[in-house]
Each structure stands twice: as structure tokens, then as C-alpha cells.
Amino acid sequence: MTDDHATPVSGCVICYQEADRIGDCVRSLAFCAEVVVVDSGSTDGTPELAAELGARVITNAPFPGYRDQKQFAVEQCAHDWVFCLDADERATPALQQRIAALAADGFAAAAYETPRHNHYLGRIMRRGLFWPDRKVRLFDRRVARWGGRNLHERVEVRPGARTERLAEGIEHLSYRSFRDHLRTIDSFTRLAAEVMAGEGRRAHLTDLLLRPPAVFVKSLVLKRGFLDGWRGFVVAAMAAYTDWLKYWRLFRTPRSRPENAT
């Protein structure tokens, strides 16, 4: 918990079916003045486990999308300064101490960006698309909010408000297994294709032929993913596959007809 003179910080988490990971996530937020967990209707005991650890648990279902659920969680917090995590993330001890020190001194910026240490198949990735993966997660909700598109949500800070970069990071347990990675790709690409189709976007053969190889080269060569060994190759290949599957599903999505069309 923060001391009596520190700026209070609310920790907030969104989750669904995360009984195996919610405990460590909530425990890593023990330095916060409160922890708010917004669940999407889990049936595996996730809400109960979070509540046992002292979190205030709120159910918001059906799931409105990542962006809207995260903003909903922020709006349920008692304090204006919020620190947001996903259930598969943990604040490292170094980051916990840094945020506590910032809160004690009074935050000098409106938002803070921190790198994520992405674990993949038993190892932290130091190159490729998984690094440095900086995200704004600590911010004053009076001048920042969750925005962007669903599946590509991000914290948007009001123009003119200052964002600082922290060296201390967040642990991100990206996938439970390779099979889980494949399931995530399947779910992500379906939703991504639906979002793009809803925005009126169309896929072309050039998207299918050129985008996946470009992603592979970017991850493995330009961002030096090869230095992560075989895991770096797998990450690059899966990123290319994800891009291909997303655009293939968009390519196969029927073009909607205007309501007045005959």
C-alpha cells in the first residue's frame, strides 16, 4: 500500500477465464491504494480468486471489446491516477518501487510509458517484434484515456500533456503454450477481420502476397529477432501467419451491399 502522503494510485485489471494467472497479477498490484478487477463473466473461479486477494471485483458482460472494457475499468476506480495491467501481466518489483516513489514525490508527468518483458515458450524475448514493446500503463485519467481500435487499443494522452519513459518493466506471460498461441491467433484474426470489414476496408491479393513476408523480415532481420534463436524464428513466422490469416479472412468477407441496392 502507498503511504499517507503519496498520491493514491488505483490498479485496474480486465480478465476472463484467468484463474491460473489472476493471483500473481493482483499480488503485483499490492503497492496500489486499491485494485479493481473487471471480469467479463468468467466461470473458472477468476472473480472469486481476485476477491480473496482483496480486489474489488466488478462483472461487465457481455464483453464490449478490449478498449471499452479497459476504459470502463478506469472509470470504476476511486482515484484519478491509474495503473493498468492485463491478467497475463505483472508489475516487476523494480516497477512497483518506481511507481511508489513517483507517487510519494508527486507525479511530474501526465503519463508514463514502460517496456514489457514478453515471455515466449520459457524465455524473455530481447529482440524482434516482442521488444521493447513500450506501453503507457500509468496515467492520470483526467488527461488520458483508453482509445484506438479494439484489438489495437492504446492509452491516448491529451495533446500538450507530458509522457515520460520508465526503464522498469512489466512481465508479460504472452502465451501459456504454442497451442495457446495458435488459439489466440485464430481468435485475434477473426475479430480483426470483422473490425476492418466494419470500417469498410477491403483486402487485396497484394496484402496476402506482400504483407506476411514483410512482417517476417522485419521481425527476424530488421529487428534482429534471429538473436533470440529458434524462438525468434518462430515469433517471426507466427507474426507473418497472423498477418496472412487476418487479410485472408478479410479477403473472404462478402462486401456489404447498400440498403437501397436492388
Tell me the C-alpha distance between 11 and 35, whole Å.
5
Burial class for 187, CB neighbours closer than 10 Å (0-12, 13-18, 19+): exposed
Residues 57 and 99 in one domain: yes
Tell me the C-alpha distance between 172 and 67, whole Å.
19
Residues 182 and 161 in one domain: no
Q: Specify the pLDDT at position 209.
A: 95
Tell me the C-alpha distance between 45 and 55, whole Å.
14
DSSP string over 43-112: SSSHHHHHHHTT-EEEE--S---HHHHHHHHHHH-SSSEEEEEETTEEE-HHHHHHHHHHHHH--SSSEE
Residues 128 and 182 in one domain: no
261 within domain boundaries: no
Mean pLDDT per segment of 10 residues, for the chain of length 262 residues?
A: 78 96 97 98 97 98 94 97 97 97 96 95 88 94 92 91 96 91 93 89 94 95 92 94 96 66 43
Q: What is the pTM of this model?
A: 0.85
Tell me the C-alpha distance between 220 and 229, whole Å.
10
Residues in a beta bridge with 22: none
**The domain spanning residue 37 has which CATH number?**
3.90.550.10
Show the domain range for 242: 178-252
259 within domain boundaries: no
Residues 155 and 45 in one domain: yes
Count of domains forming the chain: 2
User: Which residue, of 150, 173, 196, is where some domain finishes?
Assistant: 173
Residues 13 and 125 in one domain: yes
3 within domain boundaries: no
Q: Specify the pLDDT at position 107.
A: 96
